[in-house]
Amino acid sequence: MRVDILTLFPEMLSGPFSSSILKRAQERGLLEINLVNIRDFSLNKHHTVDDTPYGGGAGMVMGPEPIFGAVEHVSRELGFLPMVVLMTPQGRPFTQAIAENLSREKNLIIICGHYEGIDERIRDTLVTDEISIGDYVLTGGELPAAVVVDAVARLIPGVLGEAASVEEESFTTGLLEYPHYTRPREFRGLEVPEVLLSGHHEEIRKWRRRQSLMRTIERRPELLHRAELSREDKKILTEIRDLLNGLDLS
């Protein structure tokens, strides 16, 4: 996959892509990140990219020319116009399902917004998707773009070593993950649950499933409505409910 990220601050984005798994993915040719400086497409001699809003008001607005110029430059290079994603707090909330869909694209253009906003004509005619990474406002779209690229890139086949680790994890299964333990068996008086040391695979599987279900009820009960639950899961949930009903909380 090739991702062209249009930004006013490319230096904010070089860090997240130059270590660990995303670095290796680029070295192995599975991912190409191309940072495009929007300022390079400014049409005026001072290289400005923003202006005061028509109608007045505080703040500056990113104008259409440099962003159109940058997108057209990338699409000329590619020979076609790929999906154009705008990072904005007004976008649809980012989820694992959106990451899965984006990971099937061969190319993406991501625009990092700044200042008070961008000229609406960019949204109307260029942008195909608007994504928010949460209900809070950041200084710009660079960190959100890094979040989206990270979540998408790790779903590209071959980027993570083991395919199974993606399939089992939270939000893919619809449940939160069970707790993990490693050596030592006892740490400062804290013991690893006995069942995990038993070598009894079926018991371990059941224990983990129960832990996943309990964790999800406790922390994110709304996820259960969308999760795919087996007959066994429903039985465990009924047991947990009966257990809670039997508790004296007074």
Where does this chain bind ligand ADE (CB under 6 A)?
87-89, 113, 132-134, 136-138, 141, 144
Measured from the CB of residue 59, what is the shortest distance to ligand ADE in angstroms?
Answer: 13
Structure letter (DSSP) for residue 151:
H
| Residue with Cβ nearer ligand ADE (130 or 168) | 130
Bridge-based pairing state of the strands 190-191 and 83-93:
unpaired
Measured from the CB of residue 132, what is the shortest distance to ligand ADE in angstroms?
Answer: 4
| Residue with Cβ nearer ligand ADE (16 or 141) | 141
| Residue with Cβ nearer ligand ADE (66 or 144) | 144
**DSSP sequence for 156-213:** STTSSS-HHHHHTSTTTSSSPPPP---S-SEETTEEPPHHHHS--HHHHHHHHHHHHH
Which residue pairs from 188-197 have beta carbons closer than 8 angstroms and sit at least 24 positions apart in sequence?
A: none
Measured from the CB of residue 88, what is the shortest distance to ligand ADE in angstroms?
Answer: 5
| Residue with Cβ nearer ligand ADE (108 or 213) | 108
Which parts of the chain are beta strand (E)? Answer: 2-7, 32-37, 50-51, 61-62, 83-93, 107-112, 117-118, 129-132, 186-187, 190-191
| Residue with Cβ nearer ligand ADE (89 or 174) | 89
Structure letter (DSSP) for residue 84:
E
Beta bridge partners of 187: 190
Measured from the CB of residue 133, what is the shortest distance to ligand ADE in angstroms?
Answer: 4
| Residue with Cβ nearer ligand ADE (7 or 132) | 132
Return the residue matching tokens 């899965």. Answer: 100
Residues 142 and 13: their CA atoms lie apart, in Å, by 7
